[in-house]
């Protein structure tokens, strides 16, 4: 079985692992804030998106074209769903009211936006570490900031 984009697959799977860890850690905070569940859902859906994306990037030439296309389309849907949960969670977290949680959430949103900009720019550090790989690493940092905000939500 041929791996088509090994680094993109690896960084996607690393992103998925980070998201699952952040989801579990957020669950363990036992937070009662209404936004807590939205943050957990965002991390879980983002993990699913990263697993699907990593599998697509890593093995797309091993799948029949219909399966590869369907997997990529479902990946894009789950990315969109995770973004929707992120927006809903940030809104429900009352980030306009300030506080330590708000600062971390704003940082996470800004880091995520910067990662998206880098990905869309197409900037590659190396032929073996492309714009998708850079984005995945930046997004892990963004999700860490979002987790830090979620765990600091007022109860």
User: Tens digits of per-residue pLDDT, 101-154?
Assistant: 999 999 999 999 999 999 999 999 998 999 999 999 999 999 999 999 999 999
Q: Partners of 126 in the beta sheet?
A: 129
**Structure tokens given for 129:** 């570490």
The answer to whether 46 and 147 have CB atoms below 8 angstroms apart is no
pLDDT at 97: 86
Provide the pLDDT confidence category of residue 155 given band limits of 50, 70 and 90.
confident
Res. 91: pLDDT tops 90: yes
pLDDT at 116: 96
The answer to whether 47 and 75 have CB atoms below 8 angstroms apart is no
Res. 50: pLDDT tops 90: yes
Res. 95: pLDDT tops 90: no
Rounded to whole angstroms, the Cα distance separating 137 from 11 reads 7
pLDDT at 78: 98
């Amino acid at each position: 079985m041929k791996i088509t984009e090994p680094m993109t697959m690896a960084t996607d799977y690393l992103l998925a692992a980070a998201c699952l860890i952040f989801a579990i850690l957020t669950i363990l905070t036992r937070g009662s804030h209404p936004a807590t569940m939205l943050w957990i859902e965002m991390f879980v859906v983002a993990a699913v998106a990263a697993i699907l994306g990593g599998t697509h990037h890593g093995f797309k030439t091993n799948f029949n074209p219909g399966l590869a296309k369907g997997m990529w389309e479902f990946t894009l849907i789950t990315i969109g769903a995770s973004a929707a949960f992120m927006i809903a969670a940030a809104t429900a977290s009352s980030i306009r009211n300030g506080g330590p949680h708000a600062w971390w959430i704003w940082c996470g949103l800004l880091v995520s936006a910067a990662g998206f900009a880098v990905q869309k720019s197409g900037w590659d550090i190396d032929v073996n570490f492309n714009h998708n790989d850079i984005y995945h690493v930046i997004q892990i940092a963004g999700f860490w900031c979002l987790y830090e905000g979620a765990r600091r939500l007022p109860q």
